[in-house]
Each structure stands twice: as structure tokens, then as C-alpha cells.
Amino acid sequence: MPRASEVTGELISELAERVGGRLSQSPSDLEGHSRDESHHEARAPWAVVRCQSVEDVQAVLEVCRRHLSPVIPFGAGTGLEGGAIPTRGGVSLDLSGMNRVLRVGQEDLDVTVEAGVTLSQLNSELGPLGLFFPVDPGSDPTLGGMVATRASGTMAVRYGTMASNVLGLKVVLASGEVVTTGGRARKSSAGYDLTHLFTGSEGTLGVVVEVTLRVQPLPETVAAAVCPMPDLRSAVTAVIEVIQLGIPVARIELLDEVMVDAINRYQGTDSPVTPTLLLEFHGAKGAVAEQVREVAQVVGARGGRLEEQATPEERSRLWERRHHALYAAKALRPHARTWSTDVCVPISRLADCLLETKAELERSRVLAPIVGHVGDGNFHLSFVLEEGEVEQLKEADELHSRMVERALRMGGTCTGEHGVGIGKAPFLLHEHPTGVGLMRQLKATLDPLGILNPGKVLVVEE
Amino acid sequence: MPRASEVTGELISELAERVGGRLSQSPSDLEGHSRDESHHEARAPWAVVRCQSVEDVQAVLEVCRRHLSPVIPFGAGTGLEGGAIPTRGGVSLDLSGMNRVLRVGQEDLDVTVEAGVTLSQLNSELGPLGLFFPVDPGSDPTLGGMVATRASGTMAVRYGTMASNVLGLKVVLASGEVVTTGGRARKSSAGYDLTHLFTGSEGTLGVVVEVTLRVQPLPETVAAAVCPMPDLRSAVTAVIEVIQLGIPVARIELLDEVMVDAINRYQGTDSPVTPTLLLEFHGAKGAVAEQVREVAQVVGARGGRLEEQATPEERSRLWERRHHALYAAKALRPHARTWSTDVCVPISRLADCLLETKAELERSRVLAPIVGHVGDGNFHLSFVLEEGEVEQLKEADELHSRMVERALRMGGTCTGEHGVGIGKAPFLLHEHPTGVGLMRQLKATLDPLGILNPGKVLVVEE
């Protein structure tokens, strides 16, 4: 049997022949593709290919099929569950160079983009046309990456997640075949739903190279508000009431008092250190004013107060604070790294799930501020881990497992939006004891050689 | 080789042993399960089993696997593309007796129902709790049937289709295995999206026995309006503008002048015989009033006028008229039957698609009123066919094919909401030339013996 390094050598030379200078083995490229924004252990790929076209993707797959080499799609590297880490080596398929906005359908409120287009790039192109894309995970991923993890974020409560905003995909299968799914009609009952099959498959069923998305008209009026609340339970109760009343808020986010304190320190602000709701309202002028009044009433009845952020500058600062939450958490300890994890539960269980988790945290030595897309029942712990503190990591790991099991017991899911990747794979079988077998059958059908992002999503016995 | 009737005899006696009195071969049961509300040719099943439980479904599948007998799930028989017709014989698996509402999550705005619960039954149970289910195809199907066809209807423009309102499913696979998909969390990134795989699969990948759905709070205020428009193009242009302005209308429906006339005759009304938009608005009081004003402005600028229907009685009559459209069409000719077909295009192409179709209709001898969920780019032709008129059917068939090809050329889909069934199967390959191969692989993976509703969705060479 040839040695692994010999096999790799042949793989590399064949790849070089096919994609030329788009292949790299430079230490900085290998390092840059060895990790994402998660806490999972980095591992370098054998090589990086910066794809410029569908043909490049097909060429890499063809060579990798022959060598049974893993192929790991890579976008912006902003993942939080290690989805893009080459845990078994292989070729990192970098799609960030495929970054053209191919078509903007202004009348139809849809766009088609290559998978490497970033969220900020898309919104920069849409803004001048009076449009925006409302799925907002807080970081700046590629659209391909957002399809991969079925991402959502702060505005899912109003506009839905990637699951409801992707109209169609172009996907290169492991076989090299190109499949176009869905279409531009707003709805269709034509055949099996291949679009949703690939959305959330984390690069394990095919390589998404093109995405057609619904976009939204910029709202006529935007308002935003900060609501300091007396405690966590009253904050969550107010959120439940807002949702039950059917008030169509665009954003309703929670920061716990630890996170408010972290943001104060990081940004030099002096917000009251108490659980706080951040809200945004979109719509016609009268409707927005009505929504603000209704929410103010709900919040007031729970002992909080609604402070409107009147100017666009105040609103920008508000969401900047929210989006920098993870960096603010990280800055709480010197030389720290963060581990951001997410669960999602039916909203009726959100208070219990949050409060039990919070109580455990307070009894532990682990620091972990909480933020949440609470309108969806989704929240995040951001563990702040000091370098080399093995005991802290162990304790965080235990807290994490207990939180996920708690969410599952309450009818929730092990991940609302980060994806399974590496970190949630052990829990998938608990959540879907009957579904995982079928998922494996689908994986075997679409990727019989197992070359697409192996070791992710489905726990496979080694 | 044993003769078919001998095989069938054994199948029946084995089924009788397993499900006893729930098996029927009475002429009226066979006849009642030989057709749906489509124009497709009826064919009786060999037997009907009125399932009362998951175990019944499993028993039928087990016997049918051994005899390689087709199994055709049957709900309310309201399908419009022959999805429940046993075109190859087999056992009609009647799920209408599995009709319990299992759980109403009032705080979480979700419910779990057995597949045989009808839409009207669900809404009767939800109403007193201040809730409703907003997917409204106009007839009274079972929820299982609505999952099967990925149904939508008049309120999809605001609340989405079944694709965005099904949170989870319980499905019996061809193997008899029971798989539970999705869950009660509002969103999840946990593994492959099995829920959407089964939604719209028309009973060809598994038998849906339980459905978990999002429901909505009854709106604080409801308003409705009728807008007679000068012509079809101005009607569609007004709709496009309403959508582009982001006005969150709950319903925006089109009737062409032929349909308005048919409804006038059927219901004894005297609405102006001109293309007409029907609208509904949901929300807080001020927001609804604002929406009505905004739409009145758009409609007025296109030469129409908005007539508000102030009382609940007027509103009920309005939607009753809309929902009886198919019967009104049928009543235009004595002894007629109808063939209702649907396509959906990007909204920017809706005017062209509608007007070209209309022009062809006017040149033909075929009568076919038009109604449409125009906010989604979706419209229906209802061919009115006189008994025995072979030439009419032939001409309708040609018009139908040309309409579907036109919709596909315009970037649309061969069916927005009726499903593929029998009638759209020839077009699926035109719409998804690269996807059909993968759909077949999925079918082979999930139903290797091909017993689940064979001959539907995917055209299989005989």
C-alpha cells in the first residue's frame, strides 16, 4: 500500500495540473483554512483551491474522488461549530472568489448570487436600489455559508431564516454533476424540495455554488428601542406576550446583565446593568408608531421601560453593540477565546430553559454572557475561556452538554442556527433518534464515497 | 406465474387478517376512492383500508411490500392533479379516520394533528382559542393532504405556504419504520431538513400520519375590499406595486371578468363584469386603516377603485364567492366538469403570462375563467368541459400545455400549489432537467420497491 504522503503528493500534482495557480500550499493559506470562529481545534488542509468557477469546483471534486480525498467547502470562515475545519485533512475548497452578484430582480424582489458573495457585499449592492436581505447572523459570512448552516439571526422573527428566504440553488454534487433546484417563482409544488435538502447540509451533500434569494424592500419607517427589564424572567415574559399578540416586530433581542456589563466595558457605554431587550420595528409610519406603543405597554406591565432610539445614528450604535457582543465577551478576560453555542426551544419553555441554565452558570466558575434571538426561542451562551485553563474548559463542556440536553427535554433543538458541525454532532442522535438513519441514507445516496466534508453533522463511528 | 387476480386475492385476505373491518371492497368505497376533484380518469383501488392508527398504516405497508402492491394515501379526495387516484390499482390508504387534534400549544402558537384532520375542523378548534391556521386553499382538505401537495392558497402572500408552516412530521416509511422530523422549536439547524423532503412529496416517499404546524393569533382587526379594475393589465400592475411597496396585505386575489360573470350567475350577484381584485388586511387597527389607504391609492392610480367591505357578513360573503369560484365555473355549462390547473411565475412576468394565456383562450372555443393568488404570481385556469366533447378536451389540453411551457419560459413553475400528480408529471423534466435524476435517486432510496403512490410526480417509463 502506498503511504499517505505519497497519495497526497499525487493528489496535489493532479490538482495543480487542473487548477494551476489557484492551488496553494502556502503556510498562511493552510493556516487560514484550518479554523473558523469556533473553539474547535484547528487542523490544516493538505491544500487550498481558490475556485473561480463551477468548472474549478468540478475539477477538484473529480481529482478528489479518484484519491478519496476529503473536500471541505470554505466561505468566510465565520462558522461557530467547526463546519469548515478539515478534521480529516483534504482539500479546502475556497469559494470566496466566486463573488459576483449575478442578477438583481428589482420587480420580483429576488437576487441570484455566487456562493462567495458576502452578506455585507450583497447589502451594499441592494441598498441603493431600496432593497435589503433580512437574514442577519451578526457576522459577515458568505451567502453560501449561510445556506450551509441554515443561518438566521436577529430578524428571523419577522422575515424568517435561510430556510424561508432561499428560492433556489445551483449545487455541484460529489459526482461532479450540476443540479439547479427551486426557481424564481415565489412558490412551487413541482417535485421534491431539493432546495431545502441542501439548505443546512453543511457541505456534506453537495457544494453550493449559486444562490437565489428573496430580498425585501427597505421599510418606509424604522424605529428602534432599548428596554431595560427588572430581571430575566420578566424580560422573557414580555417577549412571549409580544409574539402572542402578533405584533410584527422586526427584531427582539435579549442581553443578560453579564453581557450588558461586557458591552459597557468594551464600548465605554453606561447602560444599566440589567437584562435588556433590544427591538426594531419596520413598516409604514403609523403602523410602526402603533407597534412601539403596544410593545411599550407590554414591557411596562412587566416592570421595564421602553426607550426609543430616535435617530439613525442611535439605531446603528444599538445594533453595532449587539453585533460586537462576542468580541465584548472575549475582552472580559485577557488572552481569552470564546465558545459561542446556541440552542432553541419552544418559546413557552424559554424562561425555564434560560433561568435553569443561568442558575447553573452562577454556581460554576465559568464566565458566559447570554444573548438571544428570543422571539424565536433561540439563545446563545458565549463561554469566555482563558488560554490553558483546562478545568474551565471541562466545566464549560459539562455546562454545555447539560444545556443542550435541557433544551432537548423541553422540546427544543440542539442548534437553532449555528449548525451541527463538530460540536453538536453527538447530540443529533438524541434529537432525531429516528431521523438520523434516514439522514445517513441520504448522505450515502448523494455522496457514496464520503468525500464531502466528512466527520460533520452525522457522527460516524471511526 | 400466478394470475394477478390470485395475487390480489391473497393480498386482500392477508390485509383482512391484519386490519379486519377497516378493510372494505364495497362498490361505494371503491368508487369513492377512485377519483379526486380533478379531470383525471377515475380508477378504483383493489381495496380501501380506513386506518385508525399508525399500526394500521404499518400493517398495510407490510402486506403490500410482500405483494408489491401499490399503496395510495387518501385524505379528503380534494386533490386537483389526481394524486390520490390509484392509477395502477392497489390499496387506498384512507387516513380520514385519523382525525384527532393531539395538542394545541397556545403559548407557542403551534399544534400537532393527525393527518386526517381537515382544515375546517382545525380552524373550528382554534377559533375559540383566538387562533387560526392561515394556509387556505379554498377547499376543505386534510392537513395530511395539504402537506402532500405543499398546498398554499389565498393567504400565502402574507403567511407563507405549507413549506413555511409545517414545523415537523411523523412519517411511516415504505419499510414500516416511523420517522419523526423537525420539532417544536421555531427554527433549527440540526441536520438534514427531512420535514421539507416529505412536504410536497405527494405520498411517494412516505405516509404522513402526524403534522406539527405553526398557527397564528386571530388578527386584532380585519378589513376587506373589492377593487373592480379597468382591465387585466392594470389589475396585475396594481398588485405588483402593492407587493413592491411592502404593504403586508393578507390576501390579494384576482378574478377575471369571465369569472366575475360566472359568480354573478351562480350567486345571483351583480358585481361589475370586469377584472376584479379581492383584498384582505390583518393587523392592529391603525395599521390596517393605513394599509387600506395605501392600497386605495395604488389601485386608484391604475384606474380602479377600492370598495371596503365593512361588516363581517360582507367579508364572509366576499370569500365565499371566491371559494365557490370553481363551482360557479362548472355551472356555466350544463353537465360540465372542470379542470382546474395552476402555474406560478415571477411576479414581473405575471401580466405577460396572464395576457398571452387570455389572448389564446379568447381565440379558442374553450371556456376557462381565471382566478389567481396574484400576490404570489400564481394563477389558475378552470377549463369548463362539456361531457363527451372530445374536441373541447383536445383544445384545452393544447392550451394547457402551451400555458405551462409559457410559464416555464418565463422562469416560473408548472405548479404553484396543486402538485404534480398525474397532470404535471410530463412537465417536471422540462422544469427541473437536472433535478429529476436526483429526485429519482431519492425515491429509490426511500421506496426501493416502488410501492408508494407509483406513477405520480416522477414520470417513469412503463
A135 with A206, same domain?
yes
Q: Which residues of B touch A413 (CB under 8 A)?
A: 183, 185, 187-190
B147 with B207, same domain?
yes
Q: Does residue A189 lie within any of the structural domains?
A: yes
- On whether the CB atoms of residues A382 and A371 are closer than 8 A, the answer is yes
Residue A389: the pLDDT is 85
Q: Which of A150, A171, A192, A292 to mutate to test the interface with B (most CBs of B within 10 A)?
A: A192
Residue A138: the pLDDT is 87
Task: State how far the Cα of B138 lies from the Cα of B323, in Å rounded to an integer.
Answer: 5
Q: At what angle are helices A54-67 and A4-19 packed, to 10 degrees?
A: 160
- Chain A to chain B Cβ contacts (< 8 Å): 295
Name the residue among B197, B246, B413 with its Cβ closest to that of A188.
B413
Residue B387: the pLDDT is 84
Instruction: Show the cell assigned to B7.
Output: 395475487
Q: Does residue A250 lie within any of the structural domains?
A: yes
Number of domains in chain B: 4
A120 with A212, same domain?
yes
Longest Cα–Cα distance of chain B, Å, equals 74
B204 with B257, same domain?
no
Residue A4: the pLDDT is 63
B207 with B107, same domain?
yes
DSSP β-bridge partners for residue A181: A169
Q: Which of B152, B173, B189, B195 to mutate to test the interface with A (most CBs of A within 10 A)?
A: B189
Residue B138: the pLDDT is 87
Closest-CA residue of chain A to B431? A190
Residue A205: the pLDDT is 98
Residue B34: the pLDDT is 98
Instruction: Show the cell assigned to B225.
Output: 375590499
- On whether the CB atoms of residues B415 and B345 are closer than 8 A, the answer is no
B15 with B51, same domain?
yes
Residue A87: the pLDDT is 96
Task: State how far the Cα of A453 lies from the Cα of A33, in Å rounded to an integer.
Answer: 13
B213 with B225, same domain?
no
Is A183–B431 a contact, with Cβ atoms under 8 angstroms apart? yes
Which candidate, B132, B210, B219, places its Cα nearest to that of B171? B210
B112 with B213, same domain?
yes
Closest-CA residue of chain B to A201? B192
Chain A nearest-CA distance from B429, in A, is 10
Is A435–B179 a contact, with Cβ atoms under 8 angstroms apart? yes
Instruction: Show the cell assigned to A446.
Output: 448523494
B133 with B154, same domain?
yes
A125 with A42, same domain?
no
Is B150–A189 a contact, with Cβ atoms under 8 angstroms apart? yes
Is B150–A248 a contact, with Cβ atoms under 8 angstroms apart? no
Task: State how far the Cα of B416 lies from the Cα of B210, in Å rounded to an integer.
Answer: 24
DSSP B159-200: H--HHHHEEEEEEE-TTS-EEEEE-SSS---SSS-HHHHHTT
Q: Which residues of A touch B436 (CB under 8 A)?
A: 191
Residue B462: the pLDDT is 42
Is A415–B246 a contact, with Cβ atoms under 8 angstroms apart? no
- On whether the CB atoms of residues B78 and B445 are closer than 8 A, the answer is no
Is A217–B244 a contact, with Cβ atoms under 8 angstroms apart? yes
Q: Which domain holds residue B212?
A: 101-217
CATH number of B21's domain = 3.30.43.10
Is B190–A415 a contact, with Cβ atoms under 8 angstroms apart? yes
Q: Which residues of B touch A244 (CB under 8 A)?
A: 107, 109, 217
Chain A nearest-CA distance from B324, in A, is 23
Closest-CA residue of chain B to A458? B191
Residue B459: the pLDDT is 74
- Name the stretches of chain A with pLDDT < 50: 461-462
Q: Does residue B337 lie within any of the structural domains?
A: yes
Q: Does residue B83 lie within any of the structural domains?
A: yes
Chain A nearest-CA distance from B426, in A, is 11
User: Among A94, A114, A142, where does a domain finish?
Assistant: A94
Name the residue among A179, A201, A344 with its Cβ closest to that of B188.
A344
Task: Give me the count of residues in chain B.
Answer: 462
CATH number of B353's domain = 3.30.70.2740
- Name the stretches of chain B with pLDDT < 50: 461-462
Helices (H) and strands (E) in chain A, counts: 17, 18
Q: Which of A110, A187, A293, A347 to mutate to test the interface with B (most CBs of B within 10 A)?
A: A187
Q: Which residues of B touch A108 (CB under 8 A)?
A: 346-348
**Phi-psi map region of B329: left, alpha, beta (phi>0 left; psi -120 to 50 alpha):** alpha
Q: Which residues of A touch B107 (CB under 8 A)?
A: 240, 244, 346-348
A226 with A241, same domain?
yes
Is A185–B457 a contact, with Cβ atoms under 8 angstroms apart? no
Q: Which residues of A touch B378 (CB under 8 A)?
A: 185-187
CB-based contacts of A97-105 (< 8 A; 24+ apart in sequence): A97/A50, A97/A51, A97/A52, A98/A51, A98/A52, A98/A53, A98/A209, A99/A142, A101/A125, A102/A210, A104/A129, A104/A131, A105/A184, A105/B346, A105/B348
B105 with B44, same domain?
no
Segment holding A84, helix H or strand E: none
- On whether the CB atoms of residues B361 and B399 are closer than 8 A, the answer is yes
Closest-CA residue of chain A to B456? A191
Q: For residue B441, report the phi and psi dihedrals to the nearest 5 degrees.
A: -60, -40
CATH number of A238's domain = 3.30.70.3450
User: Among B190, B217, B244, where does a domain finish?
Assistant: B217
Q: Which of B112, B187, B285 to mutate to test the interface with A (most CBs of A within 10 A)?
A: B187
Closest-CA residue of chain A to B157? A186
Q: Does residue A398 lie within any of the structural domains?
A: yes
Is B244–A107 a contact, with Cβ atoms under 8 angstroms apart? yes
User: Among B269, B298, B325, where does a domain finish?
Assistant: B325
Q: Does residue B450 lie within any of the structural domains?
A: no
Q: Which of B167, B170, B192 to mutate to test the interface with A (most CBs of A within 10 A)?
A: B192
Which candidate, B376, B442, B375, places its Cα nearest to that of B415? B376
Q: How far apart are the first and last CA of chain B?
A: 20
Is B418–A348 a contact, with Cβ atoms under 8 angstroms apart? no
DSSP B360-427: HHHHSS-B--EEEEGGGTEEEEEEEEETT-HHHHHHHHHHHHHHHHHHHHTT-BS-SSS--TTTTHHH
Name the residue among A201, A243, A434 with its Cβ closest to that of B179.
A434
Instruction: Show the cell assigned to B362.
Output: 379568447
Closest-CA residue of chain B to A241? B107
Is B199–A193 a contact, with Cβ atoms under 8 angstroms apart? yes
CATH number of B162's domain = 3.30.465.10
H, E, C per residue of A387-423: CCCHHHHHHHHHHHHHHHHHHHHCCCECCCCCCCCCC
Residue for cell digits 394477478?
B4
Reported ipTM: the value is 0.96
Task: Give me the count of residues in chain A.
Answer: 462
Q: Does residue B428 lie within any of the structural domains?
A: no
Task: State how far the Cα of A263 lies from the Cα of B335, in Å rounded to an integer.
Answer: 74
Q: Does residue B420 lie within any of the structural domains?
A: no
